[in-house]
Structure 1
């Protein structure tokens, strides 16, 4: 077994690949925005059910063309309403943010992972066990969310593109003619 580890390490060294190359892409999500790609490291050890649901929806293409329907300067950008937020198939701007997916809601998986800039959390209604498909990316630290919402990941590259998402003008951050997730895939694409 030790020989196998040495052989693997030698392969990656000879190929010029660091330890990160040996790491699986299955726990990463790539969101293509209008300005560039955003790579999110998903945290299955922290929120296994939520991560599994996000990966399932992404693999089916459910997140493609879904609007950032609620974006609040200095706080977060929310997206993921596959029911009413698909800007190429059944987009309903007045209902975007109220839907989910055909999959069941998920029970909360709260953790001690803090909400900081780049943290990805699951959106929900007032019921802690109502998260389904919607999620948000933090523009800034939001400690008041700690232990109240499920953390599913963190942005590891492309935060500069998240910063360029069109902000909402409404009282609750509603966005007119919103930006969208152009394509969402599992892996570092």
Structure 2
């Protein structure tokens, strides 16, 4: 029986305790950082379209959640999510563990925190390697590090100058657990993630570099936050939990059901101006989690009915 992996706050310590539930994350979270609403971009050319092969469509009884996958950050985990989605593994599964001001967890076929897919556990991808060709945009440089975005995903990384000092010309980077970030649940061991995943309802930096990040919610964060909160031990949902009705990679959906997602390009001038404004407004309290990228979602179905 798998144990429970628990993140503790206070002194930012990490402790593990045995128990009946598998692949859990976290305890009571810290207060959320208020976000500053971004201005809408002006130029159509400054938007980018999320490739259909990198867009996960999660339909739930509460509404639709769209996640941009991040294969540059966690290729093994992204491949597993794609595989399970294409095989219908996630269809009908419950959001079995939901903690307000923290995260919503699913992907367990047993619905009790103990289940997983029939495939082998995954090697942890807590960090990734970044080179000069990686599509990264910096928005701040705290203590010599860089924070910014890889596509829609907030990340932190070593500075570009360090690339000249490494054998492969690359530096370490890692996803930051801001609201909407998608992470993989695991057991006590690092290499024990399988099929269970969680979506962040709020920021929780204590998870950084401890759970593999594989994507970012680009639409539907309000749905994540509307999921029924657990009333049992460790945030387990008792009674009638909310559930996923269908989970597919967008490229596998019929054209008339396939959403098209456009996001403000983080390499654009409009984005840079928006980030500068938010950073100036927040001052010393600025966090990359304060930046919400403008998004447009359309479907052929919706366009035909307009």
Q: TM-score, normalised by structure 1?
A: 0.81
Ranked by relative contact order (alpha carbons within 8 Å, sequence separation 6 or more), the top structure is 1
CA shift, 1:36, in A, is 1.5
Map Cα deviations across residues 147-189 of structure 1 (whole Å, 9 max, x no partner): 1000010100011111110000013001011100111010154
Q: Is the 8 A contact 2:62 2:242 kept in 1?
A: no
Q: Distance in 2 between matches of 1:110 and 1:30?
A: 24
Instruction: Tell me the residue number matched to 2:203.
Output: 141
Q: Distance in 2 between matches of 1:171 and 1:184?
A: 27
CA shift, 1:133, in A, is 0.2
- Following TM superposition, the consecutive aligned residue runs of length 4 or more in structure 1 with deviations greater than 4 angstroms are 16-19
Structure with more of its chain in strand, by fraction? 2
Q: Distance in 2 between matches of 1:117 and 1:18?
A: 24
Judged with a 3 Å threshold, the aligned counterparts in structure 2 of structure 1 residues 26 and 167 are, in CA distance, closer, same or farther, namely same
Say which SS state the counterpart of residue 55 (structure 1) adopts.
Answer: helix
Map Cα deviations across residues 79-115 of structure 1 (whole Å, 9 max, x no partner): 0013x13xxxxxxxxxx21111011100100121100
Q: For structure 2, which runs of at least 5 residues remain unmatched after alignment? A: 1-43, 128-173, 251-257, 260-306
Instruction: Tell me the residue number matched to 1:20.
Output: 48
Q: Distance in 2 between matches of 1:79 and 1:17?
A: 37
Pairing of 1:1-189 with structure 2 (within 5 A): 20-21=48-49, 23-82=50-109, 84-85=110-111, 96-111=112-127, 112-176=174-238, 177-187=240-250, 189=259
In our comparison, the structure showing a higher alpha carbon Rg is 2
Q: Distance in 2 between matches of 1:182 and 1:28?
A: 17
Say which SS state the counterpart of residue 154 (structure 1) adopts.
Answer: strand
Map Cα deviations across residues 115-149 of structure 1 (whole Å, 9 max, x no partner): 01000000000111000000000011110000100
CA shift, 1:33, in A, is 1.3
Q: Distance in 2 between matches of 1:18 and 1:137?
A: 28
